[in-house]
A and B are shown apart, each in its own frame.
Chain A
Amino acid sequence: MSETHAQTVPFVRDTMLPPADPPIKEAGAVRWLRQNLFSGPLNTILTILGVLIVWFVASHFWDWFSHSVWNADSLADCRRIIAETWGEGARGACWAVIRERWNQYVFGFYPVELYWRPTMTFGLLFVALAPVLFSESAGIRRIVLVLTTVLTLWLMATLGAPAAWLVFAAVVLVGAILISERHVAWLLVFSVLYPLMGVWFLWGGSAWGPIMVLAGPVLGWIAWRLLGRVSALVATVAALVVPLVWWIVFAGDASRDAQGIVSLAIPAVDSDRFGGFLLSITIGVAGIVMSLPLGIVLALARRSDMFLVKTLAVIFIEFIRGVPLIALLFVASLLLNYFLPPGTTFDIILRVIIMVTLFSAAYMAEVIRGGLAALPKGQYEAADALGLDYWKAQRLIVLPQALKISIPGIVSTFIGMFKDTTLVTFVGLYDPLKSMSDAVRASTSWKGIYWEPYIFVGFIFFLICFGMSRYSMYLERRLARDHR
């Protein structure tokens, strides 16, 4: 103090201190570790336990995993190679079974020379989905479509698709890219036609069958237009009845006759040739596409004021939710044969798709009902105040918000349903997980192989389900209106 006096010019710093590095504990990886893994005694213990568990699992499986054999003809061959390479008593994974049988896991027993058909159908699926899934972001849509085009054409060429079909696929795919740049909505026409096209590509046979099915709604529309002048009610009834009558009474004969006049057929493939992921994805996509609208209708019906509609919806939903899926599948595969008139052949995959659709529609209805219930009452009242009728109110005000709220639940139902497609093993269809693996194990070369097929199939299931899950998160971000 004695050296300081009033005249002393106070020290004023005229330069900034150079920025110092943060203390080592508060920077970089160390900080991250301290914050995330060792922030307290409990977390430190949990971290150490976690590391130990990972180490325990890895140390037990690493040698098995690292001793992978890809080139072998049989399990015995694998074992010989493992013993030669890593010494007697070493164990290893025999992925050779996947290398040799991958085609059955993907296509089942589909004729090898026609593998390009499911491939093309799968590629076109993305064209059909793109305008629906990526309606708002042209950038992502472009990436998806270009990737699909390149991969589909390349795979089709590799699988030996005929030139005419390659040109067809190229025209559709490139056309889709061009149209998607200008008029996305036009692509929806393709999306609507796709189910019939997909069925024809997969099962083959005469193209007149799907065309005649398509003629049903067209005839219904014509009837509606013609009778619209007479009476609205008559026109509506006719629009529903005409297609039904057409399908039940005339469509079969008409397609046969047309086939007789102009043959439009590709080689037919029976349902018993389907298997593996081809089967799973066919059932899964069909179930997903049909269960969503059905679920919406059921959810609206359950909240309806009309007693009969509401009661029927409740009975349906509660019945389906109260019965295991396997029971429904057994009904589809076994009991239906007795109820239907003798001689009717009702395709087993179609039966399974119907049952799976009904099953997931019931769950879907409850998920969407949750979304509807979560919507503030003011939204309904606002719609009424605008003078919208019931359907307009639902379409413009209620459902867009309710569905957005329900997205996580809806996608969970989709994922669950897709995984449930493996249950078709119980009705003698070749699902990829169990039936196909059992069939592979039933050959003398691969008997005794256990984990490799499960890991392979599980991995592919994970990819697909993870993809769906990521898409739903993207969609939620995309549709978030409240934090803009």
Chain B
Amino acid sequence: MNTSVFLGSVAAVTLMAGAGMADTLADVKARGELNCGVNTGLVGFAAPDANGNWTGFDVDICKAVAAAVLGDATKVKYVPTTGQTRFTALSSGEVDVLARNSTWTFSRDTDLKLDFIGVNYYDGQGFMVNKDLGVTSAKELDGATVCIQTGTTTELNLADYFKANNMTYTPVNIDSNAEGEQQYMAGACDAYTTDASGLAATRAAFADPENHIILPEIISKEPLGPAVRHGDSNWGDIVRWTLYALIAAEEYGVTSANVEELTTSSQNPEVQRLLGVTDDLGAMIGLDKEWAKRAIMASGNYGEIFAANIGEQTPIGLARGLNAQWTQGGLMYAMPFR
């Protein structure tokens, strides 16, 4: 995905002085509204509908945090950020949380002074080709022309991959996903590469999806997660454990439908702690007892959010894959609520 290390660094360096004493939780509560940085529009992850209401996988994270902190999932101000402005928006304090399908990388976590609080979607870069090309593996793409979004980690991954496999390619630079689709459909490139979730969504929107295949190779790791600023660990904890609460809720079978019932009837000590029946975990992060319960009620647990926005029942139709619970062979693993 997009990088803008320069602007981000400028932002980070300038802000370091003031960041030490920030109390984001108090700010958000005083404001009565959570400022959440989201994508300006990415299918399934964040998009405004005809009435300007935001929906999507990342948007539901914002809603869960707002529900946990403010008690109302609608108290979110969505700040659309572009690939260039997203990290600066976070470090300058314009947004409290950045839930914008951003890849967790070393330099962003350290140099840009961001704190990625977890991973809500494990993505990876893949290739899509026309069936007529007769290619079944990315290893056969030697000499191909590839449509690639400029200024992104995917561009660097592509160069790495072809170099490592001793192959050559001709890049066709594109600016946005829509343009990439258009170039690919017009035959300007043999293969289109971007995150696998994006490829699936793109392919689903084609008039003839059956004529295009997504190659099996995933050539990079793209762990996408929400991020907060350095320097306010309590706020980071709140966002991190809100995400864990959603993941844990799926693991323990707590859904938006049965959360009320389980609050009174569940005998599972972990569920009781999660929902604030026993112990007072919320107080340790400056919230009340029922914070996690509200977060789950906002849009459901992690599985429900996944299914509603990008899951197999939606037009995007992504399988859980790596994003299944650890008990199901995936990587979603919430730390214990204790």
Contact = CB atoms under 8 A, between A and B. Distances in A.
Name the residue in A101, A334, A425, A427 with the highest tally of chain B Cβ atoms < 10 Å from its Cβ.
A334
A436 B18 CA distance: 35
Interface string A417-460: 00000000111101000110111111110011010000000000
Contacts of B315: 444, 447
A427 B202 CA distance: 25
Given A272-B77, A450-B178, A450-B182, A444 B316 contact: yes
B201 A447 contact: yes
A63 to B, nearest CB: 15
B81 interface: yes
B205 A75 contact: yes
Nearest to A429: B80
Contacts of A426: 82, 84-85
B205 A273 contact: no
B145 interface: no
Name the residue in A427, A440, A441 with the highest tally of chain B Cβ atoms < 10 Å from its Cβ.
A441
B206 A448 contact: yes
A273 B51 CA distance: 11
Nearest to B83: A426
Interface stretch (B41-49, B148-156, B163-171, B323-331): B41-49
Given A79-B207, A447-B43, A109 B48 contact: yes
Nearest to A451: B182
A444 B44 contact: yes
A443 B49 contact: yes
A412 B88 CA distance: 35
Nearest to A100: B50
Interface residues of A, number: 37
B15 A338 contact: yes
Classify chain B's interface size: 35 or more
A112 interface: yes
Nearest to A335: B10
A337 B92 CA distance: 7
Given A334-B85, A426-B82, A450-B178, A442 B47 contact: yes
Nearest to A112: B51
Interface in B61-111: 77-82, 84-85, 88-89, 92-94
A135 to B, nearest CB: 40
Contact of A428 (B46, B81, B182): B81
Contacts of A104: 48, 50, 52
Contact of B47 (A103, A112, A270, A443): A443
Contacts of B48: 104, 109, 439, 442
A342 interface: yes
Interface string B257-297: 00000000000000000000000000000000000000000
Contacts of A121: none
B137 interface: no
A428 B51 CA distance: 18
A348 to B, nearest CB: 9
Interface string B3-31: 00001001100110010000000000000
B43 to A, nearest CB: 5
Contacts of A435: 40-41, 80
A448 B88 contact: no
Contacts of B314: 444
A75 B51 CA distance: 19
B121 to A, nearest CB: 16
B182 to A, nearest CB: 5
A336 B336 CA distance: 43
Nearest to B86: A428
B136 interface: no
B195 interface: no
B176 interface: yes
8 contacts: A334-B11, A334-B92, A427-B85, A435-B80, A439-B80, A441-B41, A442-B48, A447-B204
Interface of B: 7, 10-11, 14-15, 18, 39-44, 46-52, 77-82, 84-85, 88-89, 92-94, 176, 178, 181-182, 201-202, 204-207, 314-316
